[in-house]
Structure formats: structure tokens, C-alpha cells
Structure 1
């Protein structure tokens, strides 16, 4: 399915105020689904120029992804990357696969937004957003204990993120 068709579907959902259905349509269309996903719910909108999505639920239990009602007012590539970020959290919090450390979960999710290894079907965002997400990944890397096993585990990915940030205009 091409982006023109996807946008037509999304606009039809928006016209009928079916935002949650539109989000379900996207995760289905881009193969982001997971058995630990409990569905979508609404969270408060931040502003017309910024959005926040969260995966909520206890570790090892099904996760609800909370989205703002204005999510589809943003660039589709950005929305897809934000959804992929949260759907990775859904996987990270699944029974038997729980990643306990929040800094590790966030580093992995921001890394995924840059390199799309888990979800290769997700398109890149603008260079501005790639720099932003790269810096967020590095911030969570720094929050891991200095010189810890966890930091050592992600040294190579950290270097990839730094190279990407430095290569962007």
C-alpha cells in the first residue's frame, strides 16, 4: 500500500473522528502489532506543535498505547516513528521478554527510530527529528551507569548514533 492510499484512509477516519481506529489501521498496515498490545487510549494533547505517546501498563502485562487526539495533525512519517517507538516498548514489556531498565528500553526505542532494525518498513523522519531522536538516545545511554555492563552492551550502537548525528546537516 502506498502513502497516498494510507493518507486517504487516515483522512476518512479523521473526518469521522475515528482516531483510535486510524491508529489501529496504521499499526496493522505497517505490521507493528504484538500480542502484548492491549489497544489504544487517549492522553492529553500537549500542543498543536508537539505530541507525546506512552505505553502504559505493568511490566510483564499487556500495554495500552496512549495517543493524543491530534496525532494525525502531524507528519505521517513522524507519527509512524512515534507509534513504532511505543510498539517497541509493548514488546519490551511483554511477559518473558521484560527489559527492566527504563534507560535501556528508551535507548533501544530511540535507536530503532533511527535505524529501523525491528521495523524496517517504517520510513525515516526529517534530519531535524533524526538529530533530536539521536540526542535522546545518547541522553538515555548517559543515564546508564558510567562504564556499566549496560553501557558496554550498547557501545557499538552509541557509536552508530554519534556517526549518524555527525553526518546530518
Structure 2
């Protein structure tokens, strides 16, 4: 389905205050559904010009993704990237994976927002947002212990990819 048609459909959902339904539809269209996803719940809006989504639930259990009611007043490309980030957390916290390290979870989720390996249908974010996501990824990478650390070694190639991306974005 062309992106313009998806945008039009989302605007229609939004107009009729069907925010959760719009989110579910996007998960299906962009192939982000996961059995550990426990649904959408609303969170308080922070400010009219900022958006926050979170995946919440115990590790190893179903995850609720909290979104603000004004989710679809933001750029659809940004919203899709934020949903991909949270759906990475849904996957990471699933039984059988149950990834404990928050820094590793965040690193992987921000990496996904830049390179879309798990969710290849997600469009690239704006250069501004890519820079922001890359900087956030590096914050979580840098939080891992400085000594020889299995996580640092595991993600060294991805770190180099992000550094190259940052250079290319200017």
C-alpha cells in the first residue's frame, strides 16, 4: 500500500479518535506484530510538541505499549520509528529471550530505528531524528562497562555502522 494511502487512513483513524486501532493497524501493515504484545494503553501527553512511548511489563511477560492520545498528530514516519523501538522491547522482553540488560535493550532498539533490520518496512526517519537516535544509541553503548565487556565486543561492528552514519549525516 502506498505511503500516502497509509497516511490518509491514519488521519481518518485519528479524526475519529481511534488511536489504539490506528496503532494496531500500523503494526499489521508494517509487520511488527508479536505474540508478546499485550496491547496499547494511553499515557498522559507530555507537551503538544513532544511524544513518549514506552513498553511496560515484567521481563518474560506480555508488554503493554503506552502511547499518548495525540500520537497521530506527529509525523507518521517518526511515529513508525517510535513504534518499531517499542516493538523491539516487546520482542526483547518475551519469554525465551527475556533480555535483562537495559543498556543492551536500548542499544538494539535505537540501532533498529536507524537500520530497520527487524522491521524492514519502516521508513527512514528525518536526518534530524536519525542524528538524535544515533546519539542516544551511543549513550547506551557508552554506559556498558569500559573494560573488556562482552556487550561492547558483541556490538562493535554495529557501533562502527552508527559512527559511519553519523559522519554521513553531517
The normalised TM-score by structure 1 is 0.98
Task: State the secondary structure of the residue aligned to 2:124.
Answer: coil
Equivalent-residue separation in structure 2 for 1:149 and 1:8 (angstroms): 45
Equivalent-residue separation in structure 2 for 1:25 and 1:150 (angstroms): 35
Structure 1 segments, 4+ long, off by >4 Å, are none
1:164 aligns with 2:165: yes
1:22 aligns with 2:22: yes
1:2 aligns with 2:14: no
1:135, distance to aligned residue in structure 2 (A): 0.3
Equivalent-residue separation in structure 2 for 1:92 and 1:72 (angstroms): 25
Task: State the secondary structure of the residue aligned to 1:65.
Answer: strand
Q: Show the 5 A alignment for 1:39-118.
A: 39-118=39-118
1:79, distance to aligned residue in structure 2 (A): 0.4
1:136, distance to aligned residue in structure 2 (A): 0.3
Equivalent-residue separation in structure 2 for 1:137 and 1:64 (angstroms): 23
1:154, distance to aligned residue in structure 2 (A): 0.8
Structure 2 residue ranges without an equivalent (≥5): none
Equivalent-residue separation in structure 1 for 2:4 and 2:164 (angstroms): 33
Equivalent-residue separation in structure 2 for 1:3 and 1:134 (angstroms): 25
> For each residue in 1:56-93, what CA deviation from the matched residue of structure 2 results, as whole angstroms up to 9, or x when unmatched?
00000000000011110111110000000000100000
1:11, distance to aligned residue in structure 2 (A): 1.5
Equivalent-residue separation in structure 1 for 2:28 and 2:86 (angstroms): 14
Q: CA RMSD in A?
A: 0.8
Equivalent-residue separation in structure 1 for 2:16 and 2:126 (angstroms): 29
Equivalent-residue separation in structure 2 for 1:8 and 1:153 (angstroms): 41
> For each residue in 1:90-149, what CA deviation from the matched residue of structure 2 results, as whole angstroms up to 9, or x when unmatched?
000000111110000000000000011111100001111000000000000001111311
